Structure 1
Amino acid sequence: MGKHNLLIYTTIALVLLFLVSRSPNKSQPQETHHRRRLKIRSHFPFSPPSDPHHHHDPPPAFDPLVADIELAREDRQWEHLYYQTHHDSDSDSASESPDSSPEPDHESRPEWEDFADAEDFLNDSERFNVTNRLMLLFPRIDVDPTDGLASKSELTQWSLQQSRREAMHRSQREMKTHDKDGDGFVTFAEYEAPSWVRSADNTSFGYDFGWWKEDHFNASDADGDGRLNITEFNDFLHPADTSNPKLILWLCKEEIRERDRDKDGKVNFEEFFHGIYDLIRNYVEPHDTDEHESDDSNEASAKMLFVLLDKDGDGYLSDVELLPVIEKLHPPEHYYAIQQTNHILHQIHTNADAFEADITSPDGSADGDKDGRLSLAEMIESPYVFYTGVFSEDEDSGDYVVHDEFR
């Protein structure tokens, strides 16, 4: 198997060398590539989401190295905010005391100095070259099977891995603040609800959402030992991605509680139609949804689905009856990974058409053949597609356009 893989990538390398030597007219894309300045994104929301039930973290960077740099910046921002939030009283008293010490590293290191250095690193072609990065990443993506092509499934799995990696990083960061005794577990007594919850009253928006309450905590406790390890705590913060049956059922209960306007503990058709059904339709791929569907037809479709879900035929939906559609109401990371992959493939094909590219991939298919698979040559031809949201379009003076709708 190892010899087979070596042969594939040796062949790809030879093809690329041949293409470079025979394609002097390809200098335009290369020149345009150099005119893009990469910038470190700062897009993680530190304020409470407007809808905690359907909040989703921003998509990760395609390149794990860029993701590490962004997470380092995010960690510093988070630490700064955490220090301000939890040490205001200490800061006030310290400012009144002539013997008070400055905030750690305040004098020794200017704020965000590391981030400026990291951005310089990203824009030093000798230290960070997007083409070289893609050549290094390609063998890590092309794994199932290793055939010299990155399939849609492989690209989706890659994006999913990056998303889960970032989610776990944030969970580990959060856990450190709640694990008061440092034993590697969080009990409900140790867990501290978000500050916006602590300062809210019973009438505040979001106060009745159960994401920070004890029943959510207990549902996340898969082994029932009264405390959460890092895996359980990660599920606690990202319940849409859990495989824990208790937590999945808790999601259904929360959906019922949010949609149940008459507070009878169940969802009738009107409550289903004017809330849950819209979310289910939005989950469906656009080409499967008829935008011109009439109100009557839309309601008829909703009634058909309602009847299918209403297993006991009592005219109401219970939490258990919502289980078949809970993934559509709370999409997991896999759903967003598919979206990101579709976005990448669309941009690759768009750029291929714009450049009228004629590169031939190792399997003999034409570049931009829209077969849902990418050769290394195709990826290198449009490298900045994989760094969308990182480079600055303001500094781009060429015709190479990369849209940023997904991010």
Structure 2
Amino acid sequence: MGKYSVIIYITLAIVLLLLVSRSSNNHRHRHRRLKIRSNFSFTPPVDPHRIHDRAAAFDPLVAEIERKREDREWEQRYFQSRHPESTQLDSAPGHESPPEWEDFMDAEDYLNDEEKFNVTNRLGLLFPKIDVDPADGYLTQSELIQWSLQQSKREVMHRTQREMEVHDKNKDGFISFAEYDPPSWAKNSDNDSFGYDMGWWKEEHFNASDADGDGFLNITEFNDFLHPADTNSPKLLHWLCKEEIRERDSNKDGKVDFHEFFHGLFDLVRNYDEADHNSSHGFDESVEAPAKVLFKQLDKDGDGFLSDVELLPIIEKIHPSEQYYAKQQMEYIMDQGVGENQLNILKLRYFKDSSEHADVNKDGRLTLTEMIDNPYVFYSAVFDEDEEDDFDHDEFR
């Protein structure tokens, strides 16, 4: 009998150890719960042409889940905006409610099931898809930038196609200005509201986006229309410059003088590594000096004003493209160092914990081992730190 008791106790001890071990493993990753994000909103932005959407997820599988979630929410909100009477029907007895966030908890649970969605395995699958130039077993900054850019462009084009379906009334694959219906907040807003009286929803913007001048926007041109910062079109870039002049020209003389440049544009284009930077600057000579140097460099005709043409060399800094954001994000991964001020001003979307870096040996390249050892650097835009202080990161919702 004693022999059997010993066997039973040993068996129970082994089972208990296994349970404790499993519980420990689960607890270790519990604070790393992956979340399905959504930055979708029908509310008007403060300044529509300066809004940069959250970065696309590093993993295309996560991005696809997020897109499906956002599409469902977009369809619901769009229908409600076009049919406000439906809100009354929603509360009627027997009415089936539209899908809510809880409907996507299964997908979120999938992302957090290590047997179904293993982050280590995912990185192993993604590594050879990123390591292409050349395929040498290392990820360079250039390869990471191209990967990030591909994911961002796919995200942007998806949203453009969704908007195309709404505005292409006759479904011919093109949008005329007559078909284009500006957002209701742009049509109904006070003309004195900042940003709303500009040309961002007007025919001049439409025509600048019409690269071939046929009076219609195809999907590529419409994408440029919605995201002018990413265009290669000289006509649209020139239009961006004209809009900046119009916006910064406080005395309405058609040009930007030094005072308007210093208080309206300089903080967007200056080098934030400068030791003398003070974001609340006045006319301190030490801060004004570099602004005067840059202003003089841009003022090609030396008349003391900046025209739209003279703004062209810095328009990509005023309106950063996806390429720019991708470079900044990947520099962070490679631990090249991005200051806190830059993180705030550039509105980087991937990372919230500056202590996480993937390039352990600091050789400027990433191996698969380094990625696996630091997996949540690549998934940090979509995980929740339950054990950290409760800071409201809107871009992670």
- TM-score normalised by structure 1 residue count: 0.79
Greater displacement, 384-393 / 238-247:
384-393
2:42 corresponds in structure 1 to 46
1:111–1:299 distance in 2 versus 1, CA, 3 Å: closer
Q: CA deviation at 1:235?
A: 0.5
Is the partner of 2:185 in helix, strand or coil? helix
Q: CA deviation at 1:265?
A: 0.8
Q: Is the 8 A contact 1:44 1:58 kept in 2?
A: no
Q: Is the 8 A contact 2:357 2:377 kept in 1?
A: no
Is the partner of 2:178 in helix, strand or coil? coil
1:405–1:200 distance in 2 versus 1, CA, 3 Å: closer
Once residues 167 and 290 of structure 2 are traced to their aligned partners in structure 1, the CA distance between those partners, rounded to angstroms, is 46
Q: CA deviation at 1:377?
A: 0.2
Stretches of structure 1 that go unaligned for 5 or more consecutive residues are 1-27, 354-366, 398-403
Q: Is the 8 A contact 2:333 2:357 kept in 1?
A: no
Residue 193 of structure 2 is aligned to residue 181 of structure 1:
no
Is the partner of 2:273 in helix, strand or coil? helix
Greater displacement, 119-128 / 216-225:
119-128
Q: Is the 8 A contact 2:160 2:222 kept in 1?
A: yes
Is the partner of 2:155 in helix, strand or coil? helix
Residue 273 of structure 2 is aligned to residue 287 of structure 1:
yes
Once residues 344 and 47 of structure 1 are traced to their aligned partners in structure 2, the CA distance between those partners, rounded to angstroms, is 33
1:273 corresponds in structure 2 to 262
Map 1:3-402; keep pairs closer than 5 Å. Answer: 32-33=28-29, 36-89=32-85, 106=96, 111-112=100-101, 114-281=103-270, 284=271, 286-288=272-274, 290-291=276-277, 295-346=284-335, 350-351=355-356, 368-394=360-386
Is the partner of 2:148 in helix, strand or coil? helix
Once residues 35 and 269 of structure 1 are traced to their aligned partners in structure 2, the CA distance between those partners, rounded to angstroms, is 50
One-letter amino acid matched to 1:383: P
One-letter amino acid matched to 1:368: V
Once residues 95 and 298 of structure 1 are traced to their aligned partners in structure 2, the CA distance between those partners, rounded to angstroms, is 57
Q: Is the 8 A contact 2:57 2:379 kept in 1?
A: yes
Q: CA deviation at 1:163?
A: 1.0
Once residues 42 and 349 of structure 1 are traced to their aligned partners in structure 2, the CA distance between those partners, rounded to angstroms, is 23
1:352–1:273 distance in 2 versus 1, CA, 3 Å: closer
Residue deviations 1:71-99 (CA, integer Å, cap 9, x gap): 1111111111111111114665x68999x
Is the partner of 2:224 in helix, strand or coil? helix
Q: CA deviation at 1:55?
A: 1.4
Q: Is the 8 A contact 1:36 1:395 kept in 2?
A: no
Aligned residues: 351
Once residues 395 and 180 of structure 2 are traced to their aligned partners in structure 1, the CA distance between those partners, rounded to angstroms, is 34
Once residues 152 and 278 of structure 1 are traced to their aligned partners in structure 2, the CA distance between those partners, rounded to angstroms, is 27
Is the partner of 1:60 in helix, strand or coil? coil
Q: Is the 8 A contact 2:31 2:385 kept in 1?
A: no
Q: CA deviation at 1:205?
A: 3.4
Is the partner of 1:88 in helix, strand or coil? coil
Q: Is the 8 A contact 2:209 2:221 kept in 1?
A: yes
**What is the identity percentage for the equivalent residue pairs of Structure 1 and Structure 2?**
63
Once residues 262 and 357 of structure 2 are traced to their aligned partners in structure 1, the CA distance between those partners, rounded to angstroms, is 43
Stretches of structure 2 that go unaligned for 5 or more consecutive residues are 1-23, 336-350
Greater displacement, 338-347 / 244-253:
338-347
